[in-house]
């Protein structure tokens, strides 16, 4: 009886191996290579993990988890080096995920989020190309917010990130002058208004999605302070608006603290 079972198994194996592409066998080998890669990734051996994930994709190019882990292995190496070349390879890997998984919104959303972060890191790592990378980061974030599957939280977070980014760009232009009590050059002042307006636009979008987004209100305060630097005739109005934003932020912080205290489990009786 055992001989018959073994013979049947060998026949099935032979059929699998002679099937065009050896689909069943390759699928199993791809998953094994994926699992090997995950083990190496968890050990911090990212280059070896990359090789394992690449092998998994050779065997089964449609294996979404292998695509995601391959990109993450590249991403982990990029985090350590911050080189343009590795950044581009990582972005290409995320683009591959996006193009091949239009029917898997979670995978696309995750790929866009990581891709935007790569551009953000490249902005800081390569100041000479900062404007180019910053524009691509913002374009990627916009795509993420406009995905049909985007949740309210995702949209609010993306709009908040964009708003903070525009505020940060304006602040960075003048921070060194302010910190040294030097007048801000007119050439710098001229660049700040459109950045402040875009910061307000996106922070307002975040708030329109989530009225209780406390940090968005806080950054609106900082934008009004920024506007005070290039709108001296509106100092009083802008100061009042900044104080209103501060009051909203503090009220939300207090409400959140009270809610957390209410929801906290009671201390055990002694």
Confidence check: pLDDT of 169 > 70: yes
Confidence check: pLDDT of 234 > 70: yes
Confidence label for 263 from pLDDT (cuts 50, 70 and 90)? confident
**Tokens found for residue 77:** 């190496």
Which whole number is the average pLDDT over 141-150? 97
Confidence label for 188 from pLDDT (cuts 50, 70 and 90)? very high
DSSP calls for 168-223: HHHHHHHHHHHHTT-PPPHHHHTTHHHHHHHHHHHHHHHHHH-TT-HHHHHHHHHH
Spans of all domains in the chain: 30-150, 152-254
**Tokens found for residue 38:** 């995950």
Q: Which class does domain 30-150 fall in?
A: mainly alpha
Give the burial string for 30-68 (b: 16+ CB within 10 Å, else e). Answer: bbebbebbbebbeeebbebbbbbbebbbebbeebebbbb
Helices (H), 19-151: 23-42, 46-59, 64-81, 84-100, 105-125, 130-145
Which whole number is the average pLDDT over 173-180? 97
Confidence label for 24 from pLDDT (cuts 50, 70 and 90)? confident
Residue 269 confidence (pLDDT): 58
**Tens-place pLDDT, residues 127-141:** 999 999 999 999 999
44: left (phi over 0), alpha (psi -120 to 50) or beta: left
Confidence label for 266 from pLDDT (cuts 50, 70 and 90)? low
Note the residue count of the chain. Answer: 270
């Amino acid at each position: 009886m055992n001989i018959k079972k073994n013979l049947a198994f060998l026949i099935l194996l032979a059929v699998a191996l002679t099937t065009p592409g050896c689909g069943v066998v390759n699928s199993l080998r791809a998953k094994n290579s994926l699992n090997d890669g995950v083990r190496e990734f968890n050990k911090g051996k990212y280059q070896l993990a990359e090789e394992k994930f690449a092998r998994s994709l050779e065997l089964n190019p449609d294996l979404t988890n292998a695509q995601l882990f391959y990109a993450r292995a590249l991403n982990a190496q990029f985090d350590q080096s911050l080189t343009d070349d590795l950044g581009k390879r990582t972005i290409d890997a995320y683009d591959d995920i996006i193009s091949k998984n239009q029917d898997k919104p979670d995978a696309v959303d995750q790929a866009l989020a990581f891709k935007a972060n790569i551009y953000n890191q490249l902005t800081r790592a390569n100041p000479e190309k900062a404007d180019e990378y910053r524009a691509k980061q913002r374009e990627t974030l916009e795509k993420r917010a406009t995905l049909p599957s985007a949740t309210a939280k995702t949209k609010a977070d993306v709009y908040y990130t964009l708003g903070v980014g525009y505020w940060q760009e304006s602040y960075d232009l003048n921070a060194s002058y302010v910190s040294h009590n030097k007048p801000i050059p007119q050439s710098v002042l001229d660049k700040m208004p459109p950045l402040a307006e875009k910061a307000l636009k996106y922070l307002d979008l975040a708030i329109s999605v989530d009225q209780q987004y406390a940090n968005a209100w806080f950054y609106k305060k900082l934008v009004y302070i920024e506007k005070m630097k290039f709108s001296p005739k509106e100092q009083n109005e802008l100061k009042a608006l900044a104080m209103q934003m501060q009051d909203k932020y503090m009220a939300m912080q207090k409400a959140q603290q009270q809610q957390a205290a209410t929801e906290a489990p009671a201390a055990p009786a002694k």
